[in-house]
Copies of this chain bind each other. A is one copy, B any other.
Amino acid sequence: MGTISADFQDWAGERQQRMENVLLGLLPAAALAPQGLHDAMRYAVLGGGKRVRPLLAFAAGELSGADPERVAIAAAAVELIHAYSLVHDDLPCMDNDVLRRGKPTCHIQYDEATALLVGDSLQTLAFQLLAEHTLNDDPRRQLEMIRLLAQASGSRGMAGGQAIDLASVGQALSLPELEFMHIHKTGALIRAAALLGAHCGAALHDGALDGLNHYAKCIGLAFQVVDDVLDAEASTATLGKTAGKDAEQHKPTYVSLLGAAAARDMAQELHRDAVDALTSFGAKAQRLRDLAAYIVLRQF
């Protein structure tokens, strides 16, 4: 599977910083009316998060020689969708969580109505960005990017996965059912991040797109398996969000279904599958390989 490149931390750190700057510039200024809403939108997005999805977009953009300035906009759109989903998921009627990225969640820092509108507005802004910036010389491919992001976020993607998750609390799920939920809840947006990054550059042939797709699917699932292991084993301080909530809420997880050791093995296997799917890309896929290792190896 190879190890993480020696300069990966620099590569990732630079792009995380760029992402922060781009988001800072793209979010409405807090001085613009309605100021309370804009202030809360900035609170929910800026200054936190590992920006895994943007990093995937940048890494996938290297496959197609995409202009990093274009990739940054696509990555920002994906990150805004992710941020909106966190704000809504934390609401009392959903996961009812008070801590996120080491800070009070949006509805605790502001109020529920504001958090609702923050999520709504961040979603809208994501699509606005994809429509108003030039991301590909061919506007048809840009429309395809919007379609991809919408499909990944909506009722047949992320939001649908969230609905399945809610319905599954306290239920005994099988492994395939758990996988179905996560492929939607987190996997779809992770896949979209990789595809959107690549779509900012030259068109990939179908076989190459299939490879990227399979990589992203494996990585998305591995990400969730690792999350489950961390939730079961890490502390709230390390995570920056409330730990142990899955068990407390009797949520089915890979750890509760397989045990921690087998869950770790599963993450390793998904890692191998992901890397295998990149073979034909050669050196251009090195950052995707790095990211796969980074996602699977973080904390353990």
Chain A residues with CB under 8 Å of chain B are 28, 32-34, 36-38, 41, 84, 88, 91, 93-94, 111-114, 116-117, 119-121, 123-125, 127-128, 130-132, 139-140, 142-144, 146-147, 150-151, 153-156, 159-160, 162-164, 166-167
Contacts and interface: CB of A to CB of B under 8 A. Distances in A.
A38 B154 CA distance: 11
Contacts of A147: 128, 131-132
A33 B160 contact: yes
A94 B121 contact: no
Contacts of A120: 84, 88, 119-120, 123, 159
A91 to B, nearest CB: 7
Given A127-B150, A132-B147, A156 B94 contact: no
B116 A156 contact: no
Contacts of A28: 155-156
A124 B163 contact: no
Contacts of A125: 150, 154-155
A59 B113 CA distance: 35
A236 to B, nearest CB: 24
10 contacts: A34-B167, A37-B160, A93-B112, A117-B159, A121-B159, A121-B160, A124-B155, A128-B151, A131-B147, A139-B139
A151 B28 CA distance: 12
A87 to B, nearest CB: 11
Nearest to A132: B147
Given A143-B139, A156-B28, A150 B124 contact: yes
A111 B93 CA distance: 9
Contacts of A119: 120
Contact of A150 (B37, B131, B162): B131
A34 B121 contact: no
Nearest to A94: B113
